Amino acid sequence: MAIVVNIDVMLAKRKMQSKELAEQIGITQGNLSVLKTGKAKGIRFETLQAICTVLECQPGDILEFVPD
């Protein structure tokens, strides 16, 4: 997929683990893994908002367009 989700970079910057992020944004670790590995078909705005709130970042910090 051309849209890459760079959550790991922000997690490292905020010194947070995936498990903690998943709990705080209210999704399962499995779903977070689906997001991180690029298998997700899409992301809901409310999920994106929750991620940006917890990681204190902008959507552009975690979403990147990489042409195929």
Partner 1 sequence: MNRTKIIGRILFYITSLLGSLYLIITLYALICLLTGWNTASYGNGMFLHINYPFTITPLMNMDNNVSYKVFSFLLPLSFYTIFFLLSAQIFKLFTRRKLFTKFHLLILKRYYRLNILLPIVCTAIAAVFVTVEGGIAILIAVHFILGIFVFFLAEIFRQGLHLQDEQDLYI
Question: CB of 20 within 8 A of CB of 10?
Answer: no
In the complex with partner 1, which residue's Cβ is closer, 6 or 47?
47
Of residues 24 and 31, the one with the C-beta less far from partner 1: 31
Least Cβ distance, residue 24 to partner 1 (angstroms): 15
What is d(CA 7, CA 18) in angstroms, rounded to the nearest whole number? 9
Least Å distance, CB 12 to partner 1, is 20
Which position has the token pair 């709990």?
23
- Contacting positions for partner 1 (CB under 8 A): 27, 31-32, 34-35, 39-44, 47
**Cα–Cα distance measured from residue 63 to residue 12, given in angstroms and rounded to the nearest whole number:** 16
